[in-house]
Amino acid sequence: MNIPRNNRLDSLIFDNVSLRALPIDPETKNERRQIREAIHALLQPTPCPDPQIVAYSRDVADLLGLDEATCESRQFAEVFAGNQLLSGMQPHATCYGGHQFGSWAGQLGDGRAINLGEVIAADGSSQMLQLKGAGETPFSRTADGLAVLRSSVREFLCSEAMHHLGIPTTRALSLCTTGRSVWRDMFYDGNPKEEPGAVVCRVAPSFLRFGHFEILAARRENQLLKQLADFTINTYFPESAALTDERERYVHWFAEVCDRTAALVVHWMRTGFVHGVMNTDNLSILGLTIDYGPYGWLDSYDPEWTPNTSDSGGRYCYRNQPPIAQWNLIRLANAILPLIDEPAPLENCLQGFAEQYTRRAEAMTASKLGLKTYAEPLATSLFSFLGQVETDMTLFYRALADLPRDDLRANALVDTLYRPDVDALEALQVWLDQYARALKNQGIEDAARRQAMNANNPAFILRNFLAQEAIDRAESGDFAGIHALLEASRRPYDPLPKDSPFNRKRPDWARAKTGCSQLSCSS
């Protein structure tokens, strides 16, 4: 694994703080096992036969100080598909547990994610590079440690789309194919198929999840729990770390996690994002969107919708995301209770989550409508209308912003409805009249309203069918669809041309198509 020294990749400087600060399992054989009294397990990525770069994010490359020529080099694909290590990289997987669909699942861990090391980025921040799909780890349980192209395209594109929407998220540097086939039973119906394999390189200050704390509490490894909490606070929560009283420090930190999680879920609700698998192992301690699996974006506004076909009860549907976030925070509170010994301060924080969420969600709803102050009956009647009459959420808010206050006509919004009829338009007109009154009462002018609304309502979202179209092309070797979506996702609030392929409702063919409105966890 010797690397030539004439490439900018060699200029990456690694400082593997987390590996230095937290215990490493002494076993270095890459064998599946339960790990005790350790966070990390050292291992090597599994080499692949033919790494090829499919796409990379210029923005993340800039953050890391990598130029275009470097990202397009042979070596880049070798490194970010898992075939070569750079000096300073120390590949490792981490141990976590989690509550999956409401039940404790024990040890999960990075089953197909391999941290390569922490890079000092161009802005001085520290960024962990992590390969997803580069082979087995001690946490792979019964699975293969690999990822297929379709799910890797979805993770790569959505990470970057989220970032540009202004939503906290893990980032994606690159997407490589591996030349290795991967067997997947996409519908879990006993018909596995061979699919192209891929690796995404994810980037974030830390990939720590609620589940990292839960597993230590479940195992009563309280000393290590304290060590992990202290490391997390000292490294990522400087305001909490500045407090001298230990208990106050932990409580302040938990309050901050509650706050960030509330802010995150408000963003998801604002843009119509449904995570799909809000298990506690998929919630980031930094409040980032993490683990893009069977996620989706609302086309028509349907609060009960979840893209995840494995979630038959709709536990993780759009509407349930705020209460589920709180449920997950309660699991985290239980896990860190041994550090504080009394539940009351944590209960206060959880109460604070509910209040924070409501306050932020109301402000968000007001801003989506261009209002100065939240108007309860107006919002309630809008959501009830949107839920009853199949309406495209993204198109609706953008079209609404363009209508003059003194001429709010339902007919002008007809294209945002999936099944426009006389009743739907009448109901919409009733709401628009109510909206016009609110705008007059709050003294809101059209230009200011349009500007405020368009800054909060994206014109571009990574609609499920758009991602699926790009995946279908990619699976036949044409990556142009991926590049076009990546480019469009960089300016999601800019108006889209009327005839843009990204400026359209979900077509009928996509209504019930796999990958478009229904996704399995198979990835």
Q: Identify the residue among 152, 282, 468, 517 touching Mg ion (CB under 5 A).
A: 282
Residue 291 in the binding site for Mg ion (CB under 5 A) = yes
Is 281 known to be catalytic? yes
CB 272 within 8 A of CB 394: yes
Nearer to ligand AMP, 196 or 481 (CB): 196
Would you state the structure tokens that stand for residue 397, as one six-digit string?
Answer: 């808010």
Residue 191, class by beta-carbon neighbours within 10 Å (0-12 exposed, 13-18 middle, 19+ buried)? exposed
Handedness of CA 388, 390, 396, 399 (dihedral sign): negative
Residue 51 in the binding site for ligand AMP (CB under 6 A) = no
Q: What is 376-431 written as a DSSP string? A: HHHHHHHHHHHHHTTBBHHHHHHHHHHS-GGG--GGGGGGGBSS--HHHHHHHHHH
Nearer to ligand AMP, 195 or 281 (CB): 281
The 10 Å CB-count burial string (b at 16+, else e) for 271-288 is: bbbbbbbbbbbbbbbbbb
**Coil, helix or strand for 318?**
helix
Number of Cβ within 10 Å of residue 170's Cβ equals 25
Residue 109 in the binding site for ligand AMP (CB under 6 A) = yes
Q: Which of 54, 160, 177, 158 is nearest to 464 (CA)?
A: 158
Residue of this chain nearest to Mg ion (CB atom): 291
**Coil, helix or strand for 8?**
helix
Residue 308: which of Mg ion, ligand AMP, none does it interact with, CB under 5 to 8 A by kind? none
Smallest separation (angstroms) from ligand AMP to the CB of 487: 28
Nearer to Mg ion, 90 or 100 (CB): 100
Say which of 281, 299, 302, 392 is annotated catalytic. 281
Residue 271 in the binding site for Mg ion (CB under 5 A) = no
Residue 143 in the binding site for ligand AMP (CB under 6 A) = yes
Residue 30 in the binding site for Mg ion (CB under 5 A) = no
| Strands 103-107, 171-184: pairing kind | unpaired
Residue 110 in the binding site for ligand AMP (CB under 6 A) = yes
Nearer to ligand AMP, 399 or 521 (CB): 521
Residue 277 in the binding site for ligand AMP (CB under 6 A) = yes
Smallest separation (angstroms) from Mg ion to the CB of 113: 8
Task: State the amino acid at position 192 in one-letter form.
Answer: P
Q: How far is CA 193 from the centre of its chain?
A: 27
Listed ranges 277-285, 327-335, 365-373, 466-474: which one lies at the site for ligand AMP (CB under 6 A):
277-285
Residue 293 in the binding site for ligand AMP (CB under 6 A) = yes
Residue 112 in the binding site for ligand AMP (CB under 6 A) = yes
Smallest separation (angstroms) from ligand AMP to the CB of 288: 14
Residue 308 in the binding site for Mg ion (CB under 5 A) = no
Site size for Mg ion (CB under 5 A)? 2
Residue of this chain nearest to ligand AMP (CB atom): 111
Nearer to ligand AMP, 112 or 252 (CB): 112
Q: Which of 206, 231, 229 is nearest to 216 (CA)?
A: 229
CA gap 494, 473 in Å, rounded: 26
CB 225 within 8 A of CB 216: yes
Nearer to Mg ion, 282 or 306 (CB): 282
Q: Which of 144, 338, 330, 137 is nearest to 224 (CA)?
A: 338
Name the packing angle between helices 464-475 and 480-488 (round to 10°).
Answer: 150
Nearer to Mg ion, 134 or 389 (CB): 134
Residue 140: which of ligand AMP, Mg ion, none does it interact with, CB under 5 to 8 A by kind? ligand AMP
Smallest separation (angstroms) from ligand AMP to the CB of 141: 6
Residue 111 in the binding site for ligand AMP (CB under 6 A) = yes
Residue 214 in the binding site for Mg ion (CB under 5 A) = no
Residues labelled as active-site residues = 281
| Residues within the interface to ligand AMP (CB under 6 A) | 108-112, 139-140, 143-146, 277, 281-282, 291, 293, 521
